[in-house]
Amino acid sequence: MSLKVASFTVHATVEQSAKWKQAAEAEGHRSAGTWLAAAADAYLKARALAGAPVPLAWHRGAFRVILEDGSAPTLPGMVSPPFGIYRGTAGGPVRGGRSYILVYLPAARIVASLRHAAQCKSLAAELARTWVRWDGTGGREPPGQDTGSVVERFRREDV
């Protein structure tokens, strides 16, 4: 199995670079880059455990979703893995529609229908926080721990 990787370029001052290299060496990392990756992961986990939303970066994209009739088209919308949002209903996209649909992408499953895209983004951040807290593995089905109550609260507050 091959591991998919991404690369980042980080700009630092000379002083930061020296401190990062020292810390990486002291903690047994091969490079400052592997140490920075571990530090970023630890930071995100600490945020989630503290109850802070997991930051999600949204961009335009297309994704597959299983609609209420069982069809699975690829729809345009906003994407921030593992979530997608499209404008419409559980039956499909509606141009100028008055609701937005939050989709869990690995399973192409509809999570919720809310009145505003911002509410879908907020719900996605809260669900991501809940799943990180339970060490979500990114499987096809979302973890079941306490997500139903989170979705239900967002539906009640959808005004």
> Got the DSSP string for 39-100?
HHHHHHHHHHHTTPPPP---EEEEEE---TTS---EEEEEEETTEEEEEEETTEE-TT-S-E
Three-state DSSP at 25 gives: helix
Judgement on whether residues 23 and 92 belong to the same structural domain of the protein: no
Predicted model pTM: 0.61
pLDDT at 134: 44
Q: What sign does the dihedral 116-117-122-126 (CA atoms) show?
A: positive
Q: What are phi and psi of 122, to 5 degrees?
A: -65, -45
The reply to whether 18 and 65 lie within a common domain is no
Residues 89, 18 within the same domain:
no
What the block records as the tokens of 71 is 């069809």
Range of the domain at 96: 59-157
Q: Decide if 113 contacts 101 (C-beta within 8 A).
A: yes
* Domain assignment of residue 115, yes or no: yes
pLDDT given at position 50: 78
Closest alpha carbon to 118 in 73, 158, 74: 158
Residue 2 within a domain: no
Total domains, the chain: 2
Per-residue pLDDT of the chain (159 residues; tens, 9 = 90+): 677 888 889 899 999 999 999 999 999 999 999 999 999 888 878 877 777 766 789 999 999 999 999 999 999 999 998 899 999 999 999 988 789 999 999 999 999 999 999 999 989 988 887 665 444 444 445 555 455 666 676 666 665
DSSP per-residue letters across 87-104: EEETTEE-TT-S-EEEEE
Is residue 118 located within the same domain as residue 74? yes
At 145 the pLDDT is 47
Q: Domain for residue 4, yes or no?
A: no
